[in-house]
Amino acid sequence: MLELIHFNILSVLLFSVGLYGVLARKSAILIIMAIELMLNAVNINFIAAAAFNHGNGLFTNFDGHILTIFIITIAAAEVGLALALILRIFRNKATVNVDSFDIMKL
Amino acid sequence: MHLILFSIISTVLLVCAVGVVISRNIVHSALFLLFALISVAGIYLVLLTEFLAIVQLLIYGGAIVIVILFALMLTRNEEYPRIQNNKLWPIAGVLAVLVCITMSVSYFQSGAIQNVPNTIAPAGVKSLGSSLFTTWAIPFELASLVLLVALIGAIVIARSDKDGN
């Protein structure tokens, strides 16, 4: 029988994989992809909690789904802005390696 | 039946997610990301949330992966096919495993998720829409403002200056 804990564990595993990607990769675009994985882990958690807790507890029926819609919106805006910033930096420095983005270092 | 479907989809999802973070070729990473996002839409279908599955396919599978592939195309250089990891990647792995263990243990020990019903409530488009336009109407309008600002900001940032700077 499918239970809430299965979805929670899947979400934890996906979040950890994304966290490893954010910390270990050097390319800024790969870091954005790993951030997308982490956001999807959070979305799975929200939808699972909303689908199993129908109407009892703190949340009403569809709050988890609505929050997921907002997270998808923010993720789309974030990817657009982040890739514009990466293009700008690539034009100035000819690389997307985050180790070379150190112009704010004293 | 649901459990078998869930197991297959989540296995595909986790394999593709690991492929995103360990693949040396950045285009392979993008394709693994596409398959992982499609599998997440499958997870939403298992949770009887068909509207969000369609939204996931359209926005993540359609828009975001395409934007990422455009960025890959525009930022090609000689270090492109073999991206190296950070020097401290073992520490990142240890940290990710620690986060995974901590959160799993806390989920298994928390009482809040043990007395939920075992049935999945379907989320129809009609009830989802009425909730979105009554309870969440103001955040919904603010989300449109956020998208507008992000659009203008992306254009202003990525545009090249006239004096060649």
Q: What is the C-alpha to C-alpha distance for residues B122 and B30, in angstroms, rounded to an integer?
A: 32
Three-class HEC string of B104-150: HHHHHHCCCCCCCCCCCCCCCHHHHHHHHHHCCHHHHHHHHHHHHHH
- The CATH number of B1-83 is 1.20.120.1200
Which parts of chain A fold into alpha helices (H)? 4-24, 28-52, 63-93
Which residues in chain B (8-47) have CB-CB distances under 8 A to chain A? 10, 13-14, 17-18, 20-21, 26, 29-30, 33, 36-37, 40, 43-44, 46-47
ipTM of predicted assembly, 2 dp: 0.89
Assess A93–B contact: CB distance below 8 Å, yes or no: no
pLDDT in tens, chain B (165 residues): 788 999 999 999 999 999 999 988 888 999 999 999 999 999 999 988 889 999 999 998 889 999 999 988 888 876 666 667 778 889 999 999 999 999 999 988 877 666 677 778 777 788 888 888 988 899 999 999 999 999 999 999 888 766 554
Q: Please give the domain boundaries of chain A with CATH numbers for all domains.
A: 4-100 (1.10.287.3510)
Residue whose token pair is 């979400």: A11
Residue-range domain boundaries for chain B: 1-83, 124-165
Find which of B15, B38, B47 to mutate to test the A interface (most A CBs within 10 Å of its CB): B47
Contact call for residues A68 and A46 (beta carbons, < 8 A): yes
The answer to whether A97 contacts B79, with C-beta atoms less than 8 Å apart, is yes
Assess A63–B contact: CB distance below 8 Å, yes or no: yes
- Token pair for B20: 């995103």
CA B136 to chain centre: 23
- Token pair for B79: 């270090």
Find which of A43, A83, A85 to mutate to test the B interface (most B CBs within 10 Å of its CB): A83
